[in-house]
Amino acid sequence: MSQIATAPANAEKRYTVTRADLPLSCPLPSMALWNSHPRVYLPIEDEPNGEADCPYCGAHFVLAD
């Protein structure tokens, strides 16, 4: 069964994610896509500081674990 996205897309500027959320994409799978930008995958696990910014909306993601 498919999940229904209920969270608004790009509503916040900082998101904390975990390894369970990988591969990381913006918008997140739980966000509605109809009012957002195209999905882009962010290789946050390859970043030395565990942080990544979305090139479309500027959302900042932080890997918590």
This model's pTM is above 0.85: no
Q: For 6-54, how does the pLDDT look when each residue is reduced to its tens digit (9 = 90+)?
A: 676 667 889 999 999 999 999 998 887 777 899 999 999 999 999 999 9
Phi-psi region of 42 (alpha: psi -120 to 50; beta: other; left: phi over 0): beta
Under DSSP, the state recorded for 46 is G
Q: Kindly report whether the peptide bond that precedes residue 55 is cis, defined as omega within 30 degrees of 0.
A: no
pLDDT band at residue 4 under the 50/70/90 scheme: low
Asked if residues 61 and 17 have their Cβ atoms less than 8 Å apart, the reply is yes
Cα 56 from Cα 10, distance rounded (Å): 10
Domain boundaries, the chain: 14-63
